[in-house]
Structure 1
Amino acid sequence: MNATPGQPEELRAPLLQGLWEQVRSGQEEVLLSPYLPASIAFLTHVLFCAPFLALDVLGGFCLRVRSWRIAAGSGPPPSLRRWLDCFWRVLYGYLTTVLPATALVHALRSPALPALAPSCRRLFVEVFACLLLFDTVFFICHVVMHRVTWLYRNTHQLHHRHHAPFALAAQDSGPVELLSLLLLSLGSAWAVGCHPLSEAVFHLLNTWLAVEDHCGYELPWALHRLVPWVGGAPHHQIHHTVHSVNFAPYFIHWDLLFGTYRAPGRHLPTE
């Protein structure tokens, strides 16, 4: 429904209203469950990894798929055994740490579901603001974890067991780091003041970008080929090879500003 000129925004019927009403219809109890954030985070992570698992399987015998792998010297695609081992580690971290902690945080927030959906403009602005905030705070924390030896050894070193990462490894971290990442994403949405629908879109996009960053493939349709200020998998794989560069998870502006950017294809010094 189009808005009348001068009509207050809260009285308009946004284009997303029908979608929002379908989401809300009879689902308030589920949507407000304290166990929903961690459960959805884990399930979407696994689902988004599924296409890359298929690529890794095909890469075992398909030269075309293997040619999309970023580093020719990174060896064959990870085996199904590596995928399963990683899956159980991530699941264990969620069940023992992330699920109870985020359930407590969610219960303390006492969220509510508004009747109106956000406008398309508001949804775009809120999602983009969340991504920028998450990227900025992650960059700062990531640099600190690498520069402070105790923090690196006790929180981040587990993630760097993957010198040539694969999609599921995006969340293959210790419980403390895994919990911190999920709390950072929840906190980013809370700080921006997101509508629940905007927050859901942000979490989905955030999960997909993390999976794509770690996938190990230079795909023709990857986001970094379409948006020049997104680093993508080539940018992040360099970080897993040379730990002192490319700290930002998604965008490259902070690495450029602080001199920690290393473009794909440039000579990588041995640490």
Structure 2
Amino acid sequence: MSVLNTSESHVVCSSGQLFLQPVWDRLRTREAFTQSPFFPAIFSITVYLGFCLPFAMLDVLCPWVPALRCYKIQPDFSPTARQLLPCLGQTLYQHLVYVFPATLLHWASGAALPPREAPELLQLVYQVVLCLLLFDAEFFVWHLLHHKVPWLYRNVHKVHHKNSPSFALATQYMSFWELFSLGFFDMMNITLLQCHPLTAMAFHVVNIWLSVEDHSGYEFPWSTHKLVPFGWYGGVAHHDLHHSQFNCNFAPYFTHWDRILGTLKSAHGK
């Protein structure tokens, strides 16, 4: 159990915290920024665009480097500037008009000061995985409803399906209500599990990465779904099939909900 030394300003860590405490201490030295209302929006857009950029560069190189096409789900497709720019503009607009005001309201409500101690590594990993599983279940139900109820699809979810085949920058090309729903699921799970701020940040990074990878259009030997055994994780080809056929693979990441309800379709014909 970690204790605070009353005669010194530093935190004495348990063995499970030693790995993360230096990272958390470094973040705490920048509290003026990390506790400001600007940080969540800047963090979100920076991580998102940082993950999108490598795939966007591959899309530019692909016509000139034929070897890259063997990794593309749709080898003859490359997004054009007329597709990329609206997606980028939509993302920037929504972060400015919706995400930043929401974080400003949260900041103005007087959020609690962050703890001095970092979470234990195993606790962080456990809670990130649990957040992903909860988000996967919540979004599966939300997603299925928005495909089965015509009014919901037409007025909320259709925007996200305007780009098919998909590409990395199309990940967050969605209506405000879809963005709000996904953000609500994220925050509800973090609050429900009482996640440490560092755990919440780790979850957001992992969640954004998995979303971008699923929409990237590229399947590599090291893609996430190939690192998860027994077909438990769908992956990019799995999600690309949803964008092309609309009636299958509704869960964003894992496959068990689609398998249970009979909406799972293999991208590799197995």
Asked if Structure 1 and Structure 2 have the same fold, meaning a TM-score greater than 0.5 normalized by the shorter chain, the answer is: yes
Question: Structure 1, residues 118-177: CA drift from partner, whole Å, max 9, x if none?
Answer: 111111111111111111111111111111111111110000011100001110001221
* C-alpha displacement of 1:29: 2.4
State the partner residue of 2:6: none
Taking structure 1 as the reference length, the TM-score comes to: 0.89
Match of 1:66 among 41, 65, 69: 69
Q: Distance in 1 between matches of 2:110 and 2:67?
A: 49
* C-alpha displacement of 1:9: 5.2
Q: Helix, strand or coil for the counterpart of 1:158?
A: helix
Question: Structure 1, residues 209-235: CA drift from partner, whole Å, max 9, x if none?
Answer: 000000011112101111131111111
Q: Helix, strand or coil for the counterpart of 2:267?
A: coil
Greater mean alpha carbon deviation, residues 100-109 or residues 142-151: 100-109
Question: Structure 1, residues 157-201: CA drift from partner, whole Å, max 9, x if none?
Answer: 000011100001110001221222223222221111111111111
Match of 1:57 among 56, 60, 65: 60
Within a 5 Å distance, the mapping from 1:153-232 to structure 2 comes to 153-228=154-229, 229-232=232-235
Q: Distance in 2 between matches of 1:55 and 1:158?
A: 25
Q: Distance in 1 between matches of 2:39 and 2:256?
A: 33
Q: Distance in 2 between matches of 1:109 and 1:213?
A: 36
Q: Report the AA paired with residue 85 of structure 1.
A: P
Q: Distance in 2 between matches of 1:82 and 1:127?
A: 33
Question: Is residue 79 of structure 2 the alignment partner of residue 78 of structure 1?
Answer: yes
Within a 5 Å distance, the mapping from 1:26-105 to structure 2 comes to 27-72=30-75, 75-105=76-106
Taking structure 2 as the reference length, the TM-score comes to: 0.89
Residues 225 and 234, structure 2, Cα contact 8 Å, conserved in 1: yes
Q: Which runs of 5+ in 1 are unaligned?
A: 1-7
* C-alpha displacement of 1:36: 2.1
Q: Helix, strand or coil for the counterpart of 2:171?
A: helix
State the partner residue of 1:3: none
Question: Is residue 28 of structure 2 the alignment partner of residue 24 of structure 1?
Answer: yes
Percent sequence identity over matched residues? 41
State the partner residue of 1:132: 133
State the partner residue of 1:4: none
* C-alpha displacement of 1:92: 1.3
Residues 13 and 21, structure 2, Cα contact 8 Å, conserved in 1: no
* C-alpha displacement of 1:89: 1.6
Q: Distance in 1 between matches of 2:155 and 2:186?
A: 22
* C-alpha displacement of 1:117: 0.6
Residues 77 and 165, structure 2, Cα contact 8 Å, conserved in 1: no
> Per the alignment, do residues 206 and 158 of structure 1 end up closer, same or farther by CA in structure 2, a change over 3 Å counting?
same
Residues 146 and 152, structure 2, Cα contact 8 Å, conserved in 1: yes
Q: Distance in 2 between matches of 1:177 and 1:63?
A: 36
* C-alpha displacement of 1:256: 0.8
Q: Report the AA paired with residue 234 of structure 2.
A: G
Q: Helix, strand or coil for the counterpart of 1:201?
A: helix
Q: Report the AA paired with residue 61 of structure 2.
A: L
> Per the alignment, do residues 99 and 183 of structure 1 end up closer, same or farther by CA in structure 2, a change over 3 Å counting?
farther
Q: Distance in 2 between matches of 1:38 and 1:176?
A: 17
State the partner residue of 2:117: 116
Number of corresponding residues: 257
* C-alpha displacement of 1:43: 1.6
Q: Report the AA paired with residue 27 of structure 2.
A: V
Q: Distance in 1 between matches of 2:106 and 2:138?
A: 19
Q: Report the AA paired with residue 205 of structure 2.
A: L
